[in-house]
Structure 1
Amino acid sequence: MTQRDIFFVANEVNELGGVGRWQIQLATLLAGRGHRVTVVGIAPPHHPMDLGERPPFETVTLYARRPPSRPRPRRLVGRIDPAVRRHEAHMRQAAERLTALFRAARPGAVIVVPQVWAMEWVALADTAGHRVIGMTHESFDTCRKTSRFQRVKKYYQDVDRLLALTQEDADRWVGEGMNNVGFMPNPLPIPPGTPSPRSEKVVASIGRLSHEKGVDMLLDAWAEVAPQQPGWTLRIYGRGEAEAELRQRCAELGLEDSVDFAGQTDDVPGALRASSVFVQSSRGEGFPLVLLEAMACGVPCVAFDCAPGVREIVTHEEDGLLARPGNTSELARHLVRLMSDEQLRDAFGERALSNVRRFDPDAITRRWEELFDFLER
């Protein structure tokens, strides 16, 4: 195995959330296999994750404060607009630090860019002949609804590989004329361990309280579930900008006795093992880590089939149940079915615990190393 210098260049080094957790996990896995890993953030995190006292990789952040958004050039002035020129000069100055890092690396280094905003700085740097791998950590359909879509096509068109999270999403990018596309699933964030006894009358939801995560739709579904399953609690873990609105919605629906807003948790496996069913009601997803974590805890999942990554993880009617996106009545029916049938919960939970092992971190890490070797040929 070739030991390499590997750079992750992302929006932040340790931002709380799926991409941040994925980045820290993969950097740690690769460092554990002897690679020299550096994690570079463009800006400081809004909500930092704890890296521990001595992470096995170096960290660098280019800006002390988050840089302002790129100004739109005034129509008659265009690129000679002084505000645009100042912004680009600051970007080039920050990109020079990337250039210095890349030039100091050993031959065969790899630069992994998991977020397209960060790629704007990598595009200004001298990558010193090293291979560059771009990534999109959301589904094709989710990306297409945002400004990131055109930026992915612009900034990733000439990288050595653009990685989606699933084959289905990769095929969609090929359809957009991207001829450098592959796919790579996320590794399992926690090892499969002692499963939940699935005896507590608790349905768990874990995620940021934001519009994208669809907890408003979950409350609508729970309004149908709660009268049919007295004694059960919907326990919602997370914080976010929609919390006050969601609490108000919960009260309007008369659900305060059966819904527990439990706040942020630092013990996701513990929260999952204290539940019997996990529910995800997102409007959009990439390759959701929390579904992997729930299955690793032997907890059957009910989710909206909102992205290829969701149905790649959960197999409908085998280890969980999938509802059509946004169909809250169908989500409610799936929840009631699992909540009312202990044998079905146990069967799905045990199969989930077994099936999720295909995302074993060592296996995914080896796939990354095989990709590095392939690109070097």
Structure 2
Amino acid sequence: MFFVSNSVDELGGVTTWSHQMARLFCERGHRVHVVGIRPAPDDRRQYLGSRPPYRTSTLYDAEPEKGRTPATMAVPAARLRDIFEEAPPGAVVICTQIWAMEWVALARTEGHTFIGMSHESYRGTRYSSRFNRVKRYYRDVDRMLPLTREDADLWIRHADMNNVGYMPNPLPALPDEPSLRTENVVTSIGRLDDQKGIDMLLDTWAEVAPLHPDWRLRIYGRAEEPEDELRLRAQCAELGLDASVEWCGTTSDVPEALRGGSVFVQSSRFEGFPLALMEAMAAAVPCAAFDCAPGVREIVSDGVDGLLAAPGSTSELARHLDTLLADKALRDRMGEAARKNIQRYGTDEIVHRWERLFAFLER
């Protein structure tokens, strides 16, 4: 089994997912090889723990140059072809990100089952350059897998693709020690970029902070470009929020970060099937989030284990945070419901779904 991604060790949900799935399949007796196209930048490298029980490879020693052509990509593509040819016919190649498909297409996958994945919503892809590349590269693969049934239906209807299924992400972990929800802290975890909407989160917090002066907003994450973080910090200062906002950078211990909070907030403009949201619920932390993707509303049952706001409506998100911060009994009830409900995405169930898909495609 091969997982092919942009990078083996770059910070982000796809990297976390790839290594989680690789470990799960290894535990079930599969031979797994995780392949990255390029190395992660030093300041964007994810700590992966001890040596994994599977192979990892990276095709380039440095970031590939822009203006690539098949000729300039030939050597790394040949390396990838050699990797695939090490396996007997019938292996499974899973391309997790569409950019990596440029090299996979040159490497050839004849004789193997091929699955192409999209780890973002249809809407998140539709208005980007990735849309046409998905249609180009994934139209003839054995199965194209977005993360939800709703997204699968959209790809079938609007992109005229007839090889589409769907596969949700598994729960990254169920911590033994959930949050006790005793700290007056709202937690956010995500990159400091446009997708994650931290600018909208600050606008939201500007409405909430005066109502709850004893609460703090704790933001975990880094920006790919230093200017982006400087811009957000300047916005924070302009809104008068410096006393109630903590900039925590990245964390290698997400469960501990979540245990330190009583509410989780997600302000993304678009998402796929967000792991941070799942991790917060597993930690028994109730969530307030923008309903920005089918994956969000599949994870969160609005009014039961979290509260959803219309995408981009900072006033509605602020009202939801105000509701949760003002009512500890509600926080406790929703937090416990979240921890229970998110277990429907347990690893055993998701791995079984994958193996049923493999068996179907082999036929």
- TM-score scaled by structure 1? 0.93
The match for 2:84 is 102
Q: How does 1:32-71 map to 2 (within 5 A)?
A: 32-46=27-41, 47-70=44-67
Q: Does the 8 A contact of 1:7 with 1:39 survive in 2?
A: yes
What SS class does the counterpart of residue 67 from structure 1 fall into? Answer: coil
Pair 1:304 & 2:290 matched: yes
The match for 2:311 is 325
Quote the offset at 1:143 in angstroms. 0.5
From 54, 71, 75, the equivalent of 1:89 is 71
What SS class does the counterpart of residue 271 from structure 1 fall into? Answer: helix
Q: How does 1:336-355 map to 2 (within 5 A)?
A: 336-355=322-341
Q: Does the 8 A contact of 2:185 with 2:262 survive in 1?
A: yes
From 146, 149, 153, the equivalent of 1:171 is 153
From 253, 256, 266, the equivalent of 1:267 is 253
Letter in 2 for 1:225: V
Pair 1:148 & 2:130 matched: yes
Distance 2:335 2:188 in 1: 16
Pair 1:285 & 2:271 matched: yes
Query: Deviations 1:98-148 (Å, cap 9, x if unpaired)?
Result: 222222202321000011111111111231310100001110001011101
Distance 1:53 1:167 in 2: 35
Quote the offset at 1:361 in angstroms. 1.0
Quote the offset at 1:93 in angstroms. 2.5
What SS class does the counterpart of residue 14 from structure 1 fall into? Answer: coil
Query: Deviations 1:284-341 (Å, cap 9, x if unpaired)?
Result: 1111000000000000000000011110101100000000011000000000000000
The match for 1:16 is 11
Letter in 2 for 1:119: M
Q: Does the 8 A contact of 1:201 with 1:276 survive in 2?
A: yes
Q: Which runs of 5 or more residues in structure 1 are unaligned?
A: 1-5, 72-86
Q: Does the 8 A contact of 1:192 with 1:353 survive in 2?
A: no
Q: Does the 8 A contact of 1:313 with 1:356 survive in 2?
A: yes
Q: Does the 8 A contact of 2:70 with 2:106 survive in 1?
A: no
The match for 1:119 is 101
Quote the offset at 1:92 in angstroms. 2.5
What SS class does the counterpart of residue 275 from structure 1 fall into? Answer: coil
Distance 1:330 1:342 in 2: 20
Q: Does the 8 A contact of 2:175 with 2:255 survive in 1?
A: no
The match for 2:188 is 205
Q: Which runs of 5 or more residues in structure 2 are unaligned?
A: none
RMSD: 1.1
What SS class does the counterpart of residue 213 from structure 1 fall into? Answer: coil
Distance 2:269 2:8 in 1: 26
Q: Does the 8 A contact of 1:102 with 1:128 survive in 2?
A: no
Q: Which shows bigger deviation, 293-302 or 119-128?
A: 119-128
Aligned length: 357
Quote the offset at 1:53 in angstroms. 3.2
Quote the offset at 1:55 in angstroms. 0.4
The match for 1:80 is none
Letter in 2 for 1:58: R
Distance 2:176 2:302 in 1: 23
Pair 1:31 & 2:17 matched: no
From 140, 145, 167, the equivalent of 1:184 is 167
The match for 2:115 is 133
What SS class does the counterpart of residue 88 from structure 1 fall into? Answer: coil
Distance 1:36 1:70 in 2: 35
